[in-house]
Amino acid sequence: MSPRVCKACGCAEIDLDQARGNAVCTSCGSVLEDNIIVSEVQFVEGSGGVTSAVGQFVSSDGPEKAPLLGSGFHTSIGKESRAQTLQNGKRQIHQLGSQLQLNQHCLDTAFNFFKMVVSKQLTRGRKMAHVIAACLYMVCRTEGTPHMLLDLSDLLQVNVYILGKTFLLLSRELYINAPAIGEIKTHDH
């Protein structure tokens, strides 16, 4: 069987959640397949008399062995995918934000930006790391932290111009007025 590749971003890191019957790109959060059906099911008795279903998934890429379906097997309609995208985004924001030593307020604000990006479906076709970095940089600009886009570029080992392009697009689409670099927030009396 050939390895799965995301049609949206080209990433080969695909999370096949056999319990939910879906395949999700770990990079951009796109659902590649859902409602994966089972061709045959057998029931086996495990330790303590627990019965589990064992089957074989049938997908567009061909069969893939499913070790245990269990009682939690159900089809996904998209809410799980969005929730999973938000959960992964929050985790990545906290990881990258802690490396930048951002406070909890900044992390929460970045996550709010990320939720807006997801709700407007702006993650499609973009790498999740780039979107996360852009959301964090929006916070850095709006809160006036001393971080530069180059700091995020160095942490992620991504070209700064690619991150800049993502940042500009997302801030424009979300109508976020990010102050120019070097603008100091002062109150004249």
Residues 96 and 61 in one domain: no
Same-domain status, 94 and 151: yes
99 shares a domain with 60: no
C-alpha torsion angle, residues 179, 182, 183, 186 (rounded to 10): 140
User: For 107-124, how does the pLDDT look when each residue is reduced to its tens digit (9 = 90+)?
Assistant: 999 999 999 999 998 988
Cβ pair 27, 128 in contact under 8 A? yes
3-state secondary structure the chain: CCCCCCCCCCCCCEEEECCCCEEEECCCCCEEECCCEEEEEEEEECHHHCEEEEEEEEECCEEEEECCCCCCCCCCCCHHHHHHHHHHHHHHHHHHHHHCCCCHHHHHHHHHHHHHHHHCCCCCCCCHHHHHHHHHHHHHHHHCCCCCHHHHHHHHCCCHHHHHHHHHHHHHHCCCCCCCCCCCCCCCC
> Are residue 151 and residue 90 in the same domain, yes or no?
yes
Low-confidence ranges of the chain (pLDDT < 50): 1-2, 57, 59-78, 183-189
pLDDT score, position 73:
42
pTM of the predicted model over 0.75: no
**Is residue 2 in a domain?**
no
For residue 155, being part of any structural domain is answered with yes
Instruction: Flag whether 134 is in a domain.
Output: yes
pLDDT at 165: 94
Q: What is the pLDDT of residue 177?
A: 82
Query: What range does the domain containing 59 cover?
Result: 14-66
